[in-house]
Amino acid sequence: MTGIKEVARKAGVSISTVSNVMNETKPVSPALKARVMEAIEALQYEVNPVGRGLKSNKTNQVGVIVPSFNQVYFPAVLQGIHEAGIKYGYTILVFETNGDVELEKQHVRFLQHSWTDGILLASYANKENISDRKYIRSLLDTGSRKKEIPVVSLENVLDPGIDSVIIDNKKAASIAVNHLVSLGHRTIAHIAAPLRFQIGILRLEGFREAMKHAGLPVDEDLIVEGDYSPISGYRSMKDLLKKGKEFTAVFAGNDQMGIGVIRALLDEGHRIPEDVAVIGIDNNFPSTLITPSLSSVNLPKYELGYQAMRLLNERMREPKRPRCVITLDSELVVRKSTSKDGSGDWNLNGW
Amino acid sequence: MTGIKEVARKAGVSISTVSNVMNETKPVSPALKARVMEAIEALQYEVNPVGRGLKSNKTNQVGVIVPSFNQVYFPAVLQGIHEAGIKYGYTILVFETNGDVELEKQHVRFLQHSWTDGILLASYANKENISDRKYIRSLLDTGSRKKEIPVVSLENVLDPGIDSVIIDNKKAASIAVNHLVSLGHRTIAHIAAPLRFQIGILRLEGFREAMKHAGLPVDEDLIVEGDYSPISGYRSMKDLLKKGKEFTAVFAGNDQMGIGVIRALLDEGHRIPEDVAVIGIDNNFPSTLITPSLSSVNLPKYELGYQAMRLLNERMREPKRPRCVITLDSELVVRKSTSKDGSGDWNLNGW
DNA sequence: TTGTAAGCGTTATCAG
DNA sequence: CTGATAACGCTTACAA
């Protein structure tokens, strides 16, 4: 490993001069500069980031903590993060929690002990839970640490003191429900995303508001909570059908549950969309592949990651700037599960 | 940031004693040990890995370079890597190349300059390409560096001098083709994975061998090269159909192309599997969702990642141990695209 | 058993 | 404009 000392020796200058040439921190005479450059070239020298990190207390690394590297949502977010990371000069350390908050805390704690300059966190912490609240506070604690590690929260606002990039989930849900209403549906079931989290609550609120706005009653028995997974959508729908509930449309709290819902309806011999229309939310590519293809509301996943990294970068450079929440917008995508005229195209690109 | 010095001061001992307690490098009297432990606890001290890294020339970080954080293959590999990383005490730095070898080289070069203890690389380098060969050699170069950075190659054997974890692609392809043959197919088309890479070549070889073994002729016009993407499978199949070629079965070089193939066949009014049977290779979850569901050969993606991390760990601990190639096995999965009796179940779990 | 001090590769301060 | 040197947080001879 060639170090700064060897470069200095080879160029016949002091190490500070080499450093100054590298970082352009101070003017260096053309003659010396040339000699140093030459030596750097000859020795293929590159600075050792560990040494630099020790001195500067910066690593140019950011930690990314997500529930899952799973196969439809976070990979796209990660792509956005990675792309922005390259742009702003950060590399990405990844951690998977599987939705286990204890694991999440562990990873956060690990990162706070000085590897990373910042953290991007898609948290499963629950604001209502007392121990989780304490943990959330610790995210903004600048306490005894010399180095405060900024956090940007993905997808939910953990605390007003934490920068966040979110999607307007209430609006997205309303868009989905409004679509069903516009098709003439009056009795609509909702397979909710987990209600201990903001996302689930907001989507449910969006559902309620849209129903109210349309002057439609909400039958509480038609609201069933799932856990995001396709299988939970499947089971929830089976339960609803077993109970003999009547409805002509279903709004699923995400696409994965929507896919489970469709499967359950088909299994029980219902026609989609003639007997029951189904819409999800997320717009993942598998939703184009099933039959009938699943209508959905597109969420800007890549953008979410990109903006989060951008925001984190700004926070790291300017710790004092006011906290901010970036809200991204969503968009209706009509497919066959709600309308015969919807798109039946498969997404054959980008995966 | 509480450091070792503060712990030492608080405990009334020297920093080396603290270090010795932390790392159990030397015996420390129970009395002092207790005081140190207490101080560590009180101050919530954790070692600063940058300082340690500078001294030890180790970071306990490994870099992972993959073509894409895409939505069906590498996330599962990454999960295996992450899991094993936790087990062996490494954190994961990720890089995406989008199949761009220049980007890949850039990331490798970056990692070799002393952040990471090892590299897991799913390379797109081409052994036949002269400049790529040079690059591949540089992966084993221990040259002027004090610290040699071990590389484990994922999915292909770049060089006998590089540890690799691969899947027996030739065998997997044979399994797929044998299945078609056993169903009575005699004219089989192949949409090949990119033939500038081992994977594409091996799968093609497996195809040829299985055909030969079954005493069937191979029509070279029925071999079309795709690029892994669904859309390339779609286009390749459209081309084949336009040319009026006759065949009763298709072996796609991966599931994604297989999905494109199915779509193309359906678009042109062919029945699957009655008119044409289709099988892929990979066994990604989307293959269960399409209609008809796609038969495939399951590749152990998670296991691939896990074993690679395990192997890298061994290499890092024992630089001198002989190079090794771990070959993982695959397994036929029969669905509706080859047989009416195949499974039509959707994969509603694990994504 | 414990402490002192050197050194890992940088950057930054300060004197020349 | 240039260079000697301290400092970053830690590990590890070596001395006590």
Cβ burial, residue B128 (10 Å; 0-12/13-18/19+):
exposed
Q: Which amino acid, residue B241? A: L
B265 and B178, same structural domain?
Answer: yes
B200 and B132, same structural domain?
Answer: no
Name the stretches of chain B with pLDDT < 70.
Answer: 1, 141-147
Residue A155: phi and psi, rounded to 5, are 80, -20
- Average pLDDT (A100-128) is 91
CA distance B50 to chain A (A): 6
B88 and B17, same structural domain?
Answer: no
Pick the residue from chain A with its C-alpha nearest to B289. A290
- Size of the A and B interface in Cβ pairs below 8 Å: 160
B15 occurs within a structural domain:
yes
- Tell me which of B279, B300, B321 is where a domain ends: B300
What's the rounded Cα separation, in Å, for the pair A84 and A67? 21
Q: Do A256 and B351 touch (CB under 8 A)?
A: yes
- Nearest Cβ partner of B2 from A74, A115, A144? A144
Cα angle B286-B267-A293, degrees, rounded to a multiple of 5: 40
Query: What residues contact B243, with CB distance under 8 A and at least 6 apart?
Result: B221
A262 and A173, same structural domain?
Answer: yes
Judge contact between B203 and B194, C-beta under 8 A.
Answer: no
A107 vs B145, higher pLDDT: A107
CATH number for the domain including B25? 1.10.260.40
Q: How far is the CA of A3 from the C1' of D16 (A)?
A: 35
B245 and B306, same structural domain?
Answer: no
Cβ burial, residue B293 (10 Å; 0-12/13-18/19+):
buried
- Provide, rounded to the nearest whole percent, the portion of chain A with pLDDT above 70: 97
Q: What is the pLDDT of residues A249-288, one digit of tens each?
A: 999 999 999 999 999 999 999 999 999 999 999 999 999 9
What's the rounded Cα separation, in Å, for the pair A284 and B341? 29
Q: What secondary structure does DSSP assign to A5-41, as a single string?
A: HHHHHHHTS-HHHHHHHHHT-S---HHHHHHHHHHHH
B181 and B159, same structural domain?
Answer: no
A11 occurs within a structural domain:
yes
Tell me the CB-side half-sphere exposure of residue A132, using CA atoms within 13 A.
16
Q: Torsion angle, CA of B179/B180/B186/B188, rounded to 10 degrees?
A: -130
CATH number for the domain including A202? 3.40.50.2300
B305 and B162, same structural domain?
Answer: yes
Which is it for strands B188-192 and B223-225: parallel, antiparallel or unpaired? parallel
Q: Do B71 and A72 touch (CB under 8 A)?
A: yes
Q: Do B72 and A70 touch (CB under 8 A)?
A: no
- Average pLDDT (A75-94) is 96
Q: Torsion angle, CA of A289/A190/A67/B83, rounded to 10 degrees?
A: -60
Q: How far is the CA of B121 from the C1' of C6 (A)?
A: 38
CA distance A48 to chain B (A): 6
A344 occurs within a structural domain:
no
B54 occurs within a structural domain:
no
Pick the residue from chain B with its C-alpha nearest to A144. B1
- Nearest Cβ partner of B260 from A109, A256, A348? A348
- Nearest Cβ partner of A290 from B145, B289, B349? B289
What's the rounded Cα separation, in Å, for the pair B27 and A105? 32
What's the rounded Cα separation, in Å, for the pair B262 and B278? 7
CA distance A217 to chain B (A): 32
A104 and A76, same structural domain?
Answer: yes
Residue B28 belongs to domain spanning:
4-47
How many domains would you assign to chain B? 3
- Nearest Cβ partner of B91 from A48, A93, A229? A93
B276 and B238, same structural domain?
Answer: yes
Which among B330, B329, B328 is positioned nearest to B296, based on CA atoms?
B330
pTM across the whole model: 0.94
| Residue-level pLDDT at A260 | 97
| C2 C1': nearest CA residue | B17
B318 and B239, same structural domain?
Answer: no
Return residues with beta carbons within 7 A of strand D: A 12-17, 20, 26-29, 31-33, 54-55, 57, 146; B 1, 3-5, 15-16, 19-20, 22-23, 25, 47-48, 50-52, 54-56
- Which nucleotide is nearest to B29 if distance is taken from CA to C1'? C1
B184 occurs within a structural domain:
yes
A336 occurs within a structural domain:
no
A274 and A215, same structural domain?
Answer: yes
- Which nucleotide is nearest to B31 if distance is taken from CA to C1'? C1
A335 occurs within a structural domain:
no
Q: Torsion angle, CA of A198/A167/A300/A339, rounded to 10 degrees?
A: 80
Q: What is the pLDDT of residues A171-230, one digit of tens each?
A: 999 999 999 999 999 999 999 999 999 999 999 999 999 999 999 999 999 999 999 999
Residues recorded for chain A: 351
Q: Do B348 and A259 touch (CB under 8 A)?
A: yes
Q: What is the pLDDT of residues A132-166, one digit of tens each?
A: 999 999 888 654 445 679 999 999 999 999 999 99
B291 and B307, same structural domain?
Answer: no
B262 occurs within a structural domain:
yes
Q: How far is CA B2 from CA A109, B45, B54, in A?
A: 14, 6, 18
Which is it for strands B331-333 and B188-192: parallel, antiparallel or unpaired? unpaired
Cβ burial, residue A342 (10 Å; 0-12/13-18/19+):
middle
